[in-house]
């Protein structure tokens, strides 16, 4: 599957983050009719995150966290999640000419999905993350996909331009997602189910509270209807401290753990945890 070179092909879904006009490829940049211009990096990604949309100088995961994430995911521990996402695409025969992964990280899930899609569909895949190190890592590894630095709160996509959006353990911005999706489009979300990583959470918190599974359905209800739900459970055995710390680094717990508890987690020789997630498909409300 070939990249569309970030806006070079007709019907590009990208829009300017400043004025929302369509972006087109002009040599080594993307440009709108109001002459807002964004350089395409040598590795192929483009930064469409405005400085006003950043909450810090370097938002999102840093390079060390991205390295941990890639190492962990390439260990196959979360492959059951990826397999279920791919199954939903295949089973639903999603009209997937244009797909966006919102909060794509270093690209694992979108790359595996891209590899399964028929070449004949001429599918264009876009991975977007607020973390520049994540997008740089993805662009260097997966050249067949278009990579963007951008915000889920203001995704740089034209209204009614996307056939599918993936949102995997990422911030769900339902209103802009609904605007970017075609009326026939689909949002596929992966969220923690009640027992997800309960054993790891038990090492971090005094009191472990089960994740509330229905809160994402409630939050989506104004803009989306739930049409499919699959709970994926799997027991994972992490064989060494590096794998355990890699998992910690790709969770929100990384920012909350005390030094004392982190030291204890790092001292473990192995850890068995429960993978427990919901993979849900939504369609825009009529």
pLDDT at 58: 74
121 contacts 101 by C-beta, under 8 angstroms = no
pLDDT at 2: 41
pTM: 0.92
pLDDT at 1: 39
pLDDT at 6: 67
pLDDT at 76: 96
Instruction: Give how far Cα 140 sits from Cα of 135, 137, 145, 146, 271, Å.
Output: 9, 5, 10, 11, 32
Distance CA 243, CA 271 (A): 9
The domain defined by 42-196+210-235+277-284 folds into Rossmann fold (3.40.50)
DSSP helix/strand/coil, 81: helix
The 10 Å CB-count burial string (b at 16+, else e) for 227-245 is: eeeeebeeebebeeeebbb
In tens digits, the chain (286 residues) has pLDDT values of: 344 456 555 668 999 999 999 999 998 899 999 999 999 999 889 999 988 766 666 778 899 999 999 999 999 999 999 999 999 988 776 656 899 999 999 999 999 999 988 765 678 999 999 999 999 999 999 998 999 999 999 999 999 999 999 999 998 999 999 999 999 999 999 999 999 999 999 999 888 888 888 888 889 999 999 999 999 999 999 999 999 999 999 998 888 889 999 999 999 999 999 999 999 999 999 7
């Amino acid at each position: 599957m070939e990249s569309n070179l970030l806006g070079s092909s007709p019907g590009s879904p990208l829009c300017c983050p400043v004025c929302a006009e369509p972006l087109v490829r002009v040599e080594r940049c993307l440009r709108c009719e109001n002459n807002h211009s964004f350089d395409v990096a040598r590795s192929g990604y483009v930064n469409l995150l405005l400085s006003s949309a950043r909450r810090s100088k370097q938002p999102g995961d840093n390079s060390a966290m991205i390295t941990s994430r890639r190492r962990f995911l390439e260990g196959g521990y979360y492959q059951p999640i990826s397999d279920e996402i791919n199954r939903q695409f295949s089973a639903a025969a999603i009209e997937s000419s244009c797909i966006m992964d919102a909060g794509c990280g270093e690209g694992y899930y979108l790359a595996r999905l891209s590899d399964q899609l028929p070449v004949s569909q001429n599918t264009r895949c876009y991975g977007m993350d607020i973390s520049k190190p994540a997008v740089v890592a993805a662009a260097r590894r997966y050249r067949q996909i278009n990579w963007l630095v951008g915000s889920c709160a203001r995704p740089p996509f034209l209204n009614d331009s996307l056939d599918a959006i993936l949102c995997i353990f990422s911030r769900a911005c339902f209103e802009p997602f609904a605007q970017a999706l075609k009326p026939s489009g689909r949002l596929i979300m992966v969220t923690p189910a009640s027992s997800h990583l309960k054993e790891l959470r038990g090492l971090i918190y005094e009191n472990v509270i089960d994740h509330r599974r229905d809160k994402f359905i409630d939050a989506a209800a104004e803009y989306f209807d739930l049409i499919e739900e699959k709970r994926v459970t799997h027991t994972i055995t992490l064989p060494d401290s590096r794998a355990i710390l890699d998992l910690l680094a790709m969770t929100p717990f990384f920012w909350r753990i005390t030094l004392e508890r982190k030291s204890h987690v790092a001292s473990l020789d192995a850890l068995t945890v429960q993978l427990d997630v919901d993979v849900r498909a939504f369609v825009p409300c009529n």
